[in-house]
Amino acid sequence: MKIITYITFFSFIGLTLFFPKAFNFRESEKIIAQDTIKEWAEVNFEVQGIQNRMAYADTANFMHQKIYPCARCFLRPEVAEALEEANTIAKEKGYILVIYDCYRPYGYQKVMYDIVNDPRYVAPPGKGSNHNRGRAIDLSLADENGNLLDMGTPFDDFTAQSHYDADNLSREARRNRKVLRNIMKRAGFAPYNNEWWHFDYRKKQYETADFRWDCDE
């Protein structure tokens, strides 16, 4: 059964209304293809049985600001298919995937970088990050009852303890990080050592994008 909804979007780069105040519109024009049709896949949390904890659609994040208008997760179609494979593997092992972030509009990248100002944790806007291309995902694991596994730090903990092989981790946290990494690698994702939660799809490259999704609310 297909568990991904495919949606086609038009990117209207000329509509500055959608850009936050801190965003440099001229910079984006040089990077993002204009008036192109972008095909995306939306993760169906309910059907897939994945926990929706989209951090930037709420104020419970490191910025204490709501960045996304609503908690929807979009990825490139091939990336969404790989995530589906990871979800299958996780379920076979008795785990539930917990998603914190997926595709991130380019305009929000600068806002986040200006706040963190550390390229180890938030990529400089420049030509865009893998989140801006729809090929990166931030996630964790929960047990079969929906309880988050101990990973040693919360999501978006910008300390050395968020590094995959950090010192002073408990045996349980180290094991849980390894389980998550193995699941994602089997599904075609590459880990990022400075953030235990971050994984990039490794089989294909994509253009930077800045479309904004609609919300029912």
Residues tagged active-site:
195
Q: CB atoms < 10 A from the CB of 25, how many?
A: 13
- Rounded CA separation 22/106 (Å): 12
Q: CB atoms < 10 A from the CB of 215, how many?
A: 11
Question: Is 131 marked within a binding site?
Answer: yes
Total residue count of the chain as it appears in this document: 217
- Rounded CA separation 149/33 (Å): 40
Widest CA span of the chain, in angstroms? Answer: 51
Residue indicated by tokens 């978006």: 156
Token digits of residue 173 = 């946290």
Question: Is 163 marked within a binding site?
Answer: no
- Rounded CA separation 163/153 (Å): 10
Q: Which residues belong to the annotated binding site for Zn(2+)?
A: 131, 138, 198
